[in-house]
Structures are given as C-alpha cells and as structure tokens.
Amino acid sequence: MMRRFFVLAFFLVEIYFPVPSAAAAYPDKPIRFVIPSAPGGSPDVLMRILLAELSKQMGVAFVVENKPGASFVIGTMDLVRAAPDGYTLGYGNIVSLAVNRSLLEKVPYDAERDLTLVSNVVRVYNMLAVNNSLPVRTVPELIAYAKRNPGRLVMASAGNGTTGHLGGELFKAMTGTFILHVPYRGSAQAINDLMGGQVQLMFDNVPSIGPHVKAGRVRGIAVSGPRRSPVFPEIPTVAESGVPGYETIAWGGVIGPANLPKEIIARLHAEIRTALASPALQERYRNLDTEIDGGTPEEFLALVRRETPKWATVVKRAGAKVD
C-alpha cells in the first residue's frame, strides 16, 4: 500500500511540477562557435557581428574558434564530431555544404546526414581586385594583359574551393586566359600579399577586400554579382565589363552537429531572426555590402540542394582543381 502511495505521489509531482528539459533551460553556459576559416576573412567578420547580437539577446557568451584548412573540412569535421546539445555550433557555407562535393575527391562528411542546418544568414558578392602597380584599370585591360603575359600573373584566393578560387577559375575559363592560382589559408594573408605585390590579383568577398579598396591599398576593378555594389557604385560588374553571363554569389549561415533537438533548432532560428532585424546589425552588414537572409532550416536545406549541382557544373566547366 505504501509503495503504491509513493508511485502515485511521484506521478502527481511529474504532472503538476514537471521537470524542466535541457532544451527549456538552453542556453545556460557559453556556446562554442567554430568558423572553419582564418580570422579576418568574411566568414569571421560577418559571424562575429551576428554572434555579438546573439550574445546580448541570449545572455551567454559565444566563444569563436577559427579552424581553417582543407577547404573548410577541418572546422566542419569538428562540428560533425560534436555532441548535439546546442553548445557547439558553427559556420557552414557554399564551400563546406555545396562546392566540396564536386571539388574534392573525398568529403568525410555528408551535409544532410552529419550536420544540422539552422539558418542561412548572409549572401555576399566578390570583388576582383588588383595590385596598384599592375597597369590595368578595367576587366578588358586585365584580359589583354593576361593574354600578352600568359602564366606571369598570379591570382590569390582565400583557399581552395572558395568562391574566390572558383570565381577566378570561371573567369579564366570564360576569358581564355592563363593565370596561376595560389590558395591561402584565409583572406587576410592573401590580401597582404596582394598589397605587397607577391600576387597580382584576387577575387574575394566584398566584406574582406572592400575596406582595402576604399583605403586605396588595392584597386577594385569589378564585382561578381548581377548588379553593382551600392557601397562601390563606380565599380562595374564583371558581366557588364565584357564577360556576359559571369556571376558568383557566396552564402553562409549557422549549422550544428546532426540530431540537434528540434526545440534548440527552433530557439536558435528565432534568435537569429531577431538579431538580423536589429537596425544596428543591418547597418553594419549594409556597409559591408552583405545581404541578409535568415531563412528557415528547410529553406537552408533547399538552398544547399539547389546550389550543389550548380557548382558541380562550374567546377567542371572551369576545370577547377585543389592546388
């Protein structure tokens, strides 16, 4: 009789005083955020802006860990191996989620099986920039110079598989030019060498190369999008500069390990949407010529599925290889 009483009492306690789930208390400690590229590049700059806003909203710190290398694979595998508790999140983008499937011989993860897509956050365009001493100021002048000097120009990129790399390979394929490619582990060192003249040109995300163009440290001659940048309205698109049909757009957002609880996914997506609605954040992104997305997990997955075959075609057409 006494045993029945205790069982009934425990049952009633659960009904009237339910034990809070881990998701209900989330987050109650700092969140580790893995960026699979070097400090100072667009992913790093753009995510830190978002994370600062999320930290204010959610009342916990976001601790950034930059893990560059192997076409975003090193940092992405950190996420794949993490516990699905919401305390290890990271950045996933066009490279790690779409391009790598066709660029690399073997990818050690499957974007749909091994990761959770929370929300695509941003879309950014690239800029074609050259060293100030290079005697070209337009795309036609660059093409003519490259054809007169085959193999003498060196193009930097922020890494293998980036839109800077593939955008450059596509440019070479569409213009019939022979330009050497040197991949770096992130934009910062590549831009330093572009300024110093060790390399002569590069395609890079506007948020990372743009400030150097504004400061006159390198010369921007074209942007990769379908329209001119509102931040650099005087710089034409590659397409309008004599390479019709040329266009590259980068994108990226928040991801986590597979099997992230639905309640945590919903909380994170809602917080991201709130952060992206902040006027201060929108102004900072606008100044970096960055478009805001904030789509649902389902929309993020649809984006990945749509972009994967598209970039497989670009890789094949450009003959892009991992250097």
Q: Which fold has domain 125-241?
A: D-Maltodextrin-Binding Protein; domain 2 (3.40.190)
Q: Cα–Cα distance between 154 and 216 in angstroms, integer?
A: 20
Q: Tens digits of per-residue pLDDT, 42-97?
A: 999 999 999 999 999 999 999 999 999 999 999 999 999 999 999 999 999 999 99
Q: Mean pLDDT across the stretch 94-112?
A: 95
Enumerate the CATH 3.40.190.10 domain ranges in the chain, comma separated. Answer: 125-241
Q: How many residues does the chain have?
A: 323
194 closest CA partner among 175, 221, 224: 221
- 27: preceding bond cis by omega (within 30 degrees): yes
Mean pLDDT of 104-109: 94
Which H, E and C letters describe 172-204, residue by residue?
HHHHCCCCEEEECCCHHHHHHHHHHCCCCEEEE
Chain segment 148-199, per-residue pLDDT in tens: 999 999 999 998 889 999 999 999 999 999 999 999 988 999 999 999 999 9
Per-residue pLDDT at 320: 79
pLDDT at residue 3, as a whole number: 47
- Domain 29-123+249-318 homologous superfamily, CATH: Bordetella uptake gene, domain 1 (3.40.190.150)
Q: Which two tokens stand for residue 63?
A: 């601790």
Can you say whether the dihedral through the CA atoms of 98, 254, 21, 63 is positive or negative? positive
> 88-93 and 115-130 as β-strands: parallel, antiparallel, unpaired?
unpaired
On whether the CB atoms of residues 262 and 269 are closer than 8 A, the answer is no
CB 137 within 8 A of CB 220: no
Domain with CATH 3.40.190.150 in the chain: 29-123+249-318
Query: 7 pLDDT band (50/70/90 cuts)?
Result: very low
Asked if residue 46 lies in contact with residue 207, where contact means CB atoms within 8 angstroms, the answer is yes
